[in-house]
């Protein structure tokens, strides 16, 4: 059986299960099990003895709407592979935009040593990616979840940056210190939208990593308030927010005289997604 045949077979099953992007997911599943890039899978035969014993189990789990990231146990983020596990928020492609914005801002400084804070580390993709790109950077990462902190530590070790990442179990209210920047993908889903989320999200991502109060902005307001104490003058805060929340975020920033909104970045679908805020000097 050729790789193309296997991919088409998996795709048909995923379509029947109502999975969006079924072709792409089929390619990821088969290429991951075969241990080769998808273009090589299309190019000819696949090691059926390696792939076929696992294929039905993997596809069956996906048909039950278990996230593909959890099934495979790892996922790519900005060209690096990260471990993912049940009970820890699964990184999204949109968060790469947040990291890109932070890297652009940090590239403008000539200071050899910089310090940053991440609020809600999850799997650690943001802090680890920044540390891997900027040798002179140190990060403090906080989360209320022990599972998240343990997984972030593991991912930091995989990428050789554990010596510059300092992890603590706490929330933003109890952090002390001064930082050049803060990054966060905070909970921003409104309380009333939880039950309407896809089963992949509702049944597998931790609720506390997603729901941000009645309007979804509770943690974002906390970040904006704490920026007064935690950011050095001229420092920046980069964070994600949800669909239809741009106007509310702009309004919240405007209420805080110590902050100014630099700009808002859109995601790949054209929706406003990431805010860049500066502390006034």
Reply yes or no on whether the pLDDT at 45 is more than 70. no
User: What average pLDDT does the segment 48-77 reach?
Assistant: 93
Question: DSSP secondary-structure letter at 256?
Answer: -
DSSP lists the bridge partners of residue 116 as 139, 181
Supply the pTM of this predicted model: 0.93
Reply yes or no on whether the pLDDT at 110 is more than 80. no
Reply yes or no on whether the pLDDT at 158 is more than 70. yes
Reply yes or no on whether the pLDDT at 50 is more than 80. no
Each residue's pLDDT tens digit, 68-95:
999 999 999 999 999 999 999 999 999 9
Each residue's pLDDT tens digit, 229-257:
999 999 999 999 998 999 999 999 999 99
User: Which residue matches tokens 């940053």?
Assistant: 116
The DSSP result for 190-216, as a single string, is -GGGGGGS-HHHHTTS-GGGTB-SSSS
> What burial letters (b/e) apply to 171-181, b meaning 16+ CB within 10 Å?
ebeebeeebbb
User: What average pLDDT does the segment 32-55 reach?
Assistant: 80
């Amino acid at each position: 059986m050729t790789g193309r045949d296997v991919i088409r077979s998996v795709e048909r099953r995923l379509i029947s299960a109502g999975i969006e992007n079924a072709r792409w997911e089929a390619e990821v599943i088969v290429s991951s099990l075969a241990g080769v890039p998808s273009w090589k899978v299309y190019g000819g035969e696949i090691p059926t003895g390696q792939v076929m014993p696992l294929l039905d189990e993997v596809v069956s789990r996906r048909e039950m709407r278990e996230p593909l990231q959890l099934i495979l146990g790892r996922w790519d983020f900005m060209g690096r592979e990260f471990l993912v596990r049940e009970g820890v928020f699964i990184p999204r492609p949109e968060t790469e935009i947040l990291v890109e914005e932070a890297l652009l801002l940090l590239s403008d400084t000539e200071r050899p040593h910089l310090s940053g804070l991440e609020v809600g580390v999850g799997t650690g993709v943001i802090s680890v990616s920044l540390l891997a790109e900027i040798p002179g950077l140190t990060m403090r990462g906080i989360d209320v979840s022990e599972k998240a902190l343990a997984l972030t530590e593991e991912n930091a070790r995989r990428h050789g940056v554990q010596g510059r990442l300092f992890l603590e179990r706490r929330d933003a209210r109890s952090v002390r210190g001064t930082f050049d920047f803060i990054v966060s993908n905070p909970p921003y889903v409104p309380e009333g939208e939880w039950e309407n989320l896809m089963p992949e999200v509702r049944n597998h991502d931790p609720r506390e990593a997603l729901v941000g109060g009645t309007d979804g902005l509770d943690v974002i307001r906390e970040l904006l308030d704490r920026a007064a104490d935690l950011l050095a003058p001229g420092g920046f805060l980069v964070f994600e927010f949800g669909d239809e929340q741009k106007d509310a975020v702009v309004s919240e920033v405007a209420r805080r005289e110590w902050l100014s909104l630099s700009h808002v970045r859109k995601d790949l679908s054209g929706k406003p997604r990431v805010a860049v805020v500066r502390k006034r000097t």
